[in-house]
Amino acid sequence: MKVRKATAADLDTVLRLIENGRKKMKASGNLHQWTDGHPGRECIENDIRRGNSYLLLPETDDPAPVATFAFILGKEPTYAHIEQGDWLNTEPYGVVHRVASADGTRGVVAEITRFCARHTDNIRIDTHADNLPMQKALSRLGYILCGVIHLDDGAPRLAYQLITSMTEREKQAAGLPYLACDPEVLADLKPCEEECFQLNRLSPLLTEERTKRLRRLLGKTGSNFKIIAPFFCDYGYNIEVGEDFFANTNMVILDEAKVTFGDNVYIAPNCSFYTAGHPLNVVQRNADIGYALPIRIGNNVWIGGNVVVLPGVTIGDNTTIGAGSVVTHDIPGNVVAAGNPCRVIREIKP
């Protein structure tokens, strides 16, 4: 589709598309958005006068516009405060408002996104909680549900953002929310799963071959380390282990972000290290949004059996984590810590 700015001569066309959009919302069960005649003639006139109103036209001989939207570069006052989350960044952005289309028109949000991406690296948009078609379209295109904003009249809206200059894999690496089902994100999972499968079926007597394969799988290893089978990880190359590292049987590392172990680290059986997490917001979670935060384990750390370490945790040097602990936050060095959630029990004096 082609995009052009709307002019004063297009006012009636824009209003007809807006009215059609209002009818489509009601037909889909969205009864609370665009009520009381909003957006109306005065609003659209202001959009056109300020150069913020646009029309989408098909690549056909028929020049009739099939969709309209407003695109505004600059700060949106109602976006200054956001609840139940946060914007992905504080960089300059453009805002999309007042999207409406003719019956039978598909791919409108994708076309709008492509157009806006030529003018900004950050696109923000809000929609009503009942506007399920819009929410699905945004999620398919990689928009992240950031939280809830409130309009001038106090009405809540779901707030989305898309960083157009970053791939989903780059967002994952940067610790930003990302689309977990993105093909690039998934690409390296299967090869790692296959390598773990092959590792775990090796004879215990083939220690040299196992060590070679682990060196290839992991991002960095010391000259001396040992990991007892079975062992499972997601990517492998995000894991770094120091000198004299030992992990007992059934260690699981979800290394969507970096997992770093220092020197002289001992891991007891059935321990898990999860960098990957999912939003508490059910809409975000069902849209397959994930996040990944690095885990750092210091030098001379002993982790007891059945310990779970959650995303973003750092454990300091010379610390012991008691068996069965769930480590939800940072643990300092030179302590014994245990429990669910894990907390410091006592200090360890040198």
315 vs 166, higher pLDDT? 315
Contact yes or no for 247/218 (Cβ under 8 A) = no
3 state SS of 11: helix
The ranges of the chain annotated as CATH 3.40.630.30 are 2-165
| pLDDT of amino acid 61 | 67
Question: 68 near 96, Cβ under 8 Å?
Answer: no
CATH number assigned to the domain covering 186-347: 2.160.10.10
Report residue 299: phi and psi, to 5°. -85, 150
What is the CATH code of the structural domain delimited by 2-165? 3.40.630.30
Tokens of 159: 């707030």
Q: How far apart are CA 30 and CA 245, in angstroms?
A: 57
**Average pLDDT value over all residues in the chain:** 93
Does residue 285 contact residue 279 with C-beta atoms inside 8 Å?
Answer: yes
The answer to whether residues 267 and 232 touch, using CB atoms and an 8 Å cutoff, is no
Is 97 part of the annotated catalytic residue set?
Answer: no
What are the residue ranges of CATH 2.160.10.10 in the chain?
186-347
Say whether pTM exceeds 0.75.
Answer: no
What is the enclosing helix (H) or strand (E) of 335? strand 335-338
Query: Of 52, 101, 43, which is closest to residue 73 (Cα–Cα)?
Result: 52
Distance CA 228, CA 119 (A): 53
Instruction: Give the pLDDT score at 142.
Output: 83
- Cβ neighbour number for residue 326 with a 10 Å cutoff: 15
User: Which residue out of 38, 150, 278, 329 is catalytically annotated?
Assistant: 278
pLDDT > 70 fraction of the chain, expressed in percent and rounded: 99
